[in-house]
A and B are shown apart, each in its own frame.
Chain A
Amino acid sequence: MTTATVEQRLTEIWETPKSVWGWFASVDHKEIGRRYLVTAFILLAIGGIEALIMRLQLARPDQALLPPEMYDQLFTMHGVTMIFWYASPILSGFSNYLIPLMIGARDMAYPRLNAFSYWSFLLSAILLYIGPCMGQAPHGGWFAYVPFTNIQYSPDRGMDFYALALIFLTISTTVGAINFITTILRLRAPGMSISKMPMLCYSTGTISAAILFALPALTVDCVFLELDRHWGTHLFKVIGGGNVLMWQQLFWFFGHPWVYVIFIPAMGILSMIIPVFSRRPLVGYPYVAISTVLTGVVGFSVWLHHMFAVGMSDMSMSIFSAGSMLVSIFTIVQVFAWVATIWKGRLVMTTAMYFALGSIACLVIGGLSGVYTAIIPVDWQVHDTYFVVAHIHYVLIGANVFPVFAGFYYWLPKITGRMMDERIGKWSFWIMFLGFNVGFFPMHLLGLGGMPRRVYTYSAALGLGATNTLVTVGAFVLGVGILVSIVNLFVSLQHGRVAGKNPWNADTLEWDTESPPAPYGSVHIPTVVSRNPLWDDHDEEHDPDGSRIFDNGRQTPSTTWLDATPYAISQMPMESIAPLLLAIALFIFFGAMVFEMLWLALAGLILTFAASCFWLWPRPEEQPV
């Protein structure tokens, strides 16, 4: 059997049919990862435009560009879009595309579930955005505190869109997390023991576990909200013995781990990029790995710091204050590891590295203001002011958007097969970095100066007009910087240099595949002997008798959790339209619940069951031969 025929055979086995049906039925992790990246990026743009409109309103004191109600809807949609529908899905996009390639597997562990995860993410975003199209967007901020969001204060359907779209999204995120955990634990290439995994696997695995335990709190919370709004219960209403603070307790029990969900994988991206452009392995690999996992664990014990102002016992406040300071230690371990890697290495200043370094700078500023707000008296002072807004944006833009852009500049050559333009990229970085700091650093001062968040305007007498104008200018400069990168992408797609297998001389297995990768990834399932497979002498694909090709159908080896010793073959499913049908059925259910059309909701449930049956019905052609 010659190599050419092996590649043809593998392509035949793994390629998605190029047809309309194939497009909707694709279960290829690369296709799904690309869709995740594109959809989440579009949502980033939408959320960004919402923010810019808000900044126009706040540019001068006492402006009336937006009525208060519309301002409320805009900041809510901005927060909800960015935190739920952009920040986590974009990281899922990277992980989806890269992790199977990085660990030498042919696909994710549950390819159809992966497709379902994407479709339900997309449809939940559509469900959320039906609200604003009807003029009934949610308006309670991204954390939607009761009693304001109860039916008597929010009578239109905005909050229903919020609650039900979120429950829909939790389903998508949870099945995605299950998929990542199984993929990372079971499908690693032979020899890639747990101590040799790329750092992105550690971070994605950690947050996937956190998702399993944290998201149900949000689901329960949103169900409670719907019950209170439409079914007459008294869960959050004092009048029937309800507990108003329960919303906050449950929301933040979910919410703080969620902050790490949208932040830890971005740290993982940095831990992948910085060693490559420092031309040496990551310093303190075990410590970075352990502190990644511990961030996820300790992240569950800090949620009360969002509620220091509600009036709690000193004991619980002290415990959670200590927890919040403790968690910063695990983050700083990673930061020191990066700094040490840079220090000991030989820097290659690519655009990806610019973004990575910029990210570290912003992350440190955001982390320090986080330590401030973990201290109770300071928190009381700055609670609900722009200081907190500055803090979350330094953390989320510094430790999510900048790493994501670093990831784009680093991995897009792999995904598109073309190099991005470095010169335009560096321009884009400097514009973004400048705009971000001009826009968000003064927010600290606004907050200390007493400007409350979520208020649609402010009086000229406060004397904050000039600072606010500066913030607005900064925000627009940041937007221009992002636009430059988008232009760069389209220019590079046309005119970029052909990337080749490994343009950066990087160390991990995804760079051992073609750019863009073939449908099956690598021809031979690689074997791994070190943490930096492509930097060592061992030939990953060395397989003289072709026993690691697996061309008997869609198959990939299963390996043990810790040592990655192969012990079985995983049979992978073929393309299927069922994931899309299931997502549509759920969309009908949740959409009907928003409008309280109970019969349609019941029909949605029946369709859900029917789609699941269709999905799971055994197909002889998928059985191993």
Chain B
Amino acid sequence: MSTTVNVFHNTGERVVLPLDVNRGAMAMWMVIATEASLFITLFCAYFLEGNNKNRWLIDQPPKFTYALILLAILVGSSIVLHWGEKQLKLGRYGVARIALAVTVLMGLGFLTLQSFEYLSHWKSLAPYSDSYGAVFYTITTFHAAHVIVGLLILGYVLCLPRYAPACESPYRPYHVASLYWHFVDVVWLFIVVILYLIPNGVVYVH
């Protein structure tokens, strides 16, 4: 992307202008801002429903083993992806693609394991059993939907060709997609803390 595309004459001074490569990332940051508000709203809904705790069917907090394993998978995938991005900047396209593929596999692993987690919860708690079930499954399913979208984006970037000599690598899409993926991971961290760890901690303190 080092090719000069224009020379700009500004108040008697000639400036060489490179191509603007950050417009897409800026849009992604704003998508992340609005998506973050979406999850904050969902957490607020969780606390609002918590006002009626005494009507919930089960007073046990959810088991958090699965959630922590899932967190480890996602954090691991983010680290792999970030490493891949660094390789891409250095021009090692093949390695970067492998890192991307590993990330996608880890994401698929996340979804598989989460469905097992759902199965283990389902016996005692369903979305339609009470408001806790509703809000628990809504939040985690919203997150799972974001994981799926993230995987689709990553898979798409994986398939992108190396086009045109001027933009020799799909670096920009890689960067933008990884921003989204890191965001999805951070959301899971908050879900683990708010939905799993804090209720368990409260029980432990009592």
A residues contacting B by CB (< 8 A) are 109-110, 113, 174, 177-178, 181-182, 185-186, 190, 212-217, 219-220, 223-224, 227, 231-235, 237-238, 240-243, 245-246, 249-250, 253, 527, 543, 545, 547-548, 550, 552, 555, 557-558, 565-571, 609, 613, 616, 618, 620, 623-625
Contacts and interface: CB of A to CB of B under 8 A. Distances in A.
Nearest to B28: A178
Interface stretch (B73-81, B125-133, B186-194): B125-133
Interface of B: 3, 5-11, 14-15, 17-21, 23, 26-27, 30-31, 33-35, 37-38, 40-42, 44-45, 48-49, 51-53, 55-56, 127-135, 138, 152, 156, 160-161, 163-164, 166-167, 170, 173
Contact of A547 (B8, B33, B38, B160): B8
A243 B14 contact: no
A342 to B, nearest CB: 36
Given A212-B33, A240-B55, A545-B9, A235 B131 contact: yes
A219 B38 contact: yes
A589 to B, nearest CB: 13
A543 B23 contact: no
11 contacts: A178-B31, A185-B26, A212-B33, A233-B127, A235-B134, A241-B130, A250-B44, A527-B10, A555-B5, A618-B161, A623-B166
A624 B3 contact: yes
Contacts of A240: 55, 129-131, 134
Given A213-B34, A233-B133, A547-B8, 12 more contacts: A233-B127, A240-B129, A240-B134, A246-B49, A547-B9, A555-B6, A566-B10, A567-B17, A568-B21, A569-B20, A571-B5, A625-B166
Nearest to B7: A547
Contacts of B53: 241
A235 B173 CA distance: 38
Contacts of A250: 41, 44-45
Contacts of B156: 613, 616
Contacts of B160: 618
B52 A243 contact: yes
Contact of B131 (A174, A181, A243, A567): A243
B37 A224 contact: no
A99 to B, nearest CB: 16
Contacts of A174: 34
A558 B161 CA distance: 27
B19 A234 contact: no
Nearest to A624: B5
A620 B128 contact: no
B49 A212 contact: no
Contacts of A527: 10-11
Contacts of A214: 37
Nearest to B172: A618
A357 to B, nearest CB: 37
Contacts of A618: 160-161, 163-164, 167, 170
A613 B129 CA distance: 39
Contact of B135 (A185, A235, A238, A548): A235
Nearest to A246: B48
B13 to A, nearest CB: 11
A548 B8 contact: yes
A109 B23 contact: yes
A625 B166 CA distance: 8
Most chain A CB within 10 A, of B6, B52, B160, is at B6
